[in-house]
Structure 1
């Protein structure tokens, strides 16, 4: 039971980050992946009900003489209900999830005049499954080239393409420091990155090592309760204090020492990965001339 509570707390943390960030990039990301053209969009904030307030009229578990088992649902309607077929579909989904048995549904109409209720779903209304996609199916490069920090941090969940984890993490952190030079904003996305990194073994520790190596951000993750316990309490206490203090100190040091060198190292890595001179220049904020010079030295 305690493990379930811990898992739920961690799931809530992931959900919070994804819901907070998703509108910043998901439409353009989906457009690239699925190819649909968006004319306009409206966010629907309705909460989906997990239970129906009304109860089914009769539910009967039946076993036949030849040992077949199924759920029989009987409904009685005194008048036409235009959306009865959709209501029965809701019942069907709930019953299927709970009992995982074949289901037979019958609606008995009690009215005097003939019924006009639809009894079958249109093809477009029939649930036949969903599209399953994994972030591991996408290259981290697709995320790291984004202009949105919200999308950049998702690179930590993508395919590293056999590249060393340390190198990918370094690119993610460097890209975040480019997009978010304000301390408060950078603090926010580093925290979110650390939370998402818990979905990948060893990455929180690798992130900490790279934070120190870059000379732009510093934070001792091993002293953080969140890293040791994985609880929301640790995130609020340890990360809030440690990251804010570490980032502020690291940024000041990085401005004086490692900024340019870190950019050059990142540029070399990008070129070795096959990125174009133009994309590498855009990512590292170095001039095209300097990128070309580094390319010749490889």
Structure 2
């Protein structure tokens, strides 16, 4: 499972105070198990609301043409388990591309509908004004007009945390902003001086299921065998490489092996960040920019 999806599930186990009020049609009464017995299905978020309806949410980072069928399978499984048809379904789209998914399925003898919300319809300032740290981290995915203000709020939020909490919060922010390449570049720059270290033994901790995956993606696993202390800065090279690869995948839908190998050979972090910025802004001349910068034919 992609680390971004794991991070979102982990965040919503804590239920963002203000965001949950925006997404939920009624106050949340209790969280429900996300696994659905008698099936192999597991939903992203399930809760009973105070009006006794059930809210089901899925967080989607790419346009899935099969989404209506997925939501239908979830609906029938939830209805069977809880013996109710009072189910409200919402797909929260967190991807970077334009939302293109359908919110209904119409076939013979069946009309099925659910709601879709592009999280960028929500102004990040609404969540940044919340005192809930979970709201503030989700603001990274919303509509952002002032990146500096958002990053200042995130850093301010971390000031009152202990080292372990601060590290966990920062890694979540870095993971979520893989979906927002421009913001991720700026956030990475701002947190470089922060006195946060990640030790090799942290990778083995099971307190947060997502920690191992995030540390690996940030390249913080280097030196594990030697037992050295590894800081955020040592992961910047791998992070920059993976960011460029992710941007290419987002633009093309795949990454040619030759290009992926070439990017992983680059050891200049500043060049990789510059390349990422150019690729994000490139449109019709995307492949030309890529070929020119990587010096490939």
Greater Rg by CA:
1
TM-score category (smaller protein): 0.3 to 0.5
TM-score in terms of structure 2 length:
0.42
Q: Judging by fraction of residues, say which structure has more helix.
A: 1
Q: Judging by fraction of residues, say which structure has more strand.
A: 2
